[in-house]
Chain A
Amino acid sequence: MPIYNVHPTADPRVSAPDLLQHFGLLLTAEVAVSDALAEVLVAQNQAIPPSVPGPALVDTGASICAVDESAALKLGLQPIGQSNVSGVGGTRVHNVYMAKVTFPGTPIPPQQWTLTGADLKDQNLLLLIGRDILRACVLIYNGPGGTCSLRLSNGS
């Protein structure tokens, strides 16, 4: 399993522990159509939509992963399931999509993930990475050092 060491460097005037506290564990990600869907589109002589880049936040409070639903729509992904998400106002049903997630510039291999559609735009996020993925990871959060290490296995 490759290890990815995260060193937040958004602003040199701000210390790494402060950056990590403020932004959390943010990764640069891209969401694309799954390999299986790409094969279908190629077989049908259809164009493969370009991947959508954006920030992914590791959220240990979330039991599942979420994708900004506008990105799923841009990619032409179709719902293939439903998630029941509990909140203060009760349970809400969300669409579920299959997509390929990559982390450019990192040793993390491409992933084929099921992602729950949600409105993340207002929070400037493309993805939330929840515990369904973290269950296959080793995550070390070094608050005083302002760094994180993530080991993520290959596959879904």
Chain B
Amino acid sequence: MDAHDFSVELAAFEKRKAELLELCEGKFAVLKGEHFLGAFDSYLAAYSAGLKEWGNVPFLIKQVLRQERSETMPALVLGLIHANL
């Protein structure tokens, strides 16, 4: 399945990133469209705030970090969870 298109939210985040890094590095920013809801201490708090504001619709929670993180799931990516030799 294709990932949801958060390009508007990501662009809005990038616009504010320097300010957010200054004010609340490590916190979790919540955005929908260009609307910035705020920055929260935990992912769960950010999620609850977004749900309360907009309901059960897509919105973006993004941790305020200097460097983007890349995740790894090698067994999934390589399809090697159950391999026979």
Contacts and interface: CB of A to CB of B under 8 A. Distances in A.
Interface of A: 22, 24, 34, 36-37, 40-41, 44, 57, 59, 61-64, 66, 69, 76, 78-88, 91, 93-96, 98, 112, 114, 116-120, 122-123, 125, 128, 130, 156
A114 B47 CA distance: 10
A63 B44 CA distance: 19
Contacts of B77: 85-88
Contacts of B69: 84
Contact of A81 (B62, B72, B75, B81): B62
Given A59-B73, A81-B6, A85-B71, 16 more contacts: A22-B82, A37-B51, A64-B71, A66-B73, A69-B1, A78-B56, A80-B50, A82-B3, A82-B6, A82-B60, A84-B69, A95-B1, A95-B4, A98-B43, A128-B73, A156-B44
B75 A61 contact: yes
A88 B73 CA distance: 11
Contacts of A85: 70-73, 76-77
Nearest to A87: B77
A73 to B, nearest CB: 8
Interface string B44-75: 10011011100111111110000011111111
Contact of B68 (A61, A84, A116): A84
Contacts of A37: 51, 56
A64 B71 CA distance: 7
Contact of B78 (A79, A88, A112, A125): A88
A127 to B, nearest CB: 11
19 contacts: A40-B51, A41-B56, A59-B76, A59-B81, A62-B73, A62-B76, A64-B73, A79-B3, A80-B60, A81-B60, A81-B62, A82-B3, A82-B4, A82-B60, A84-B71, A88-B77, A98-B43, A118-B73, A119-B1
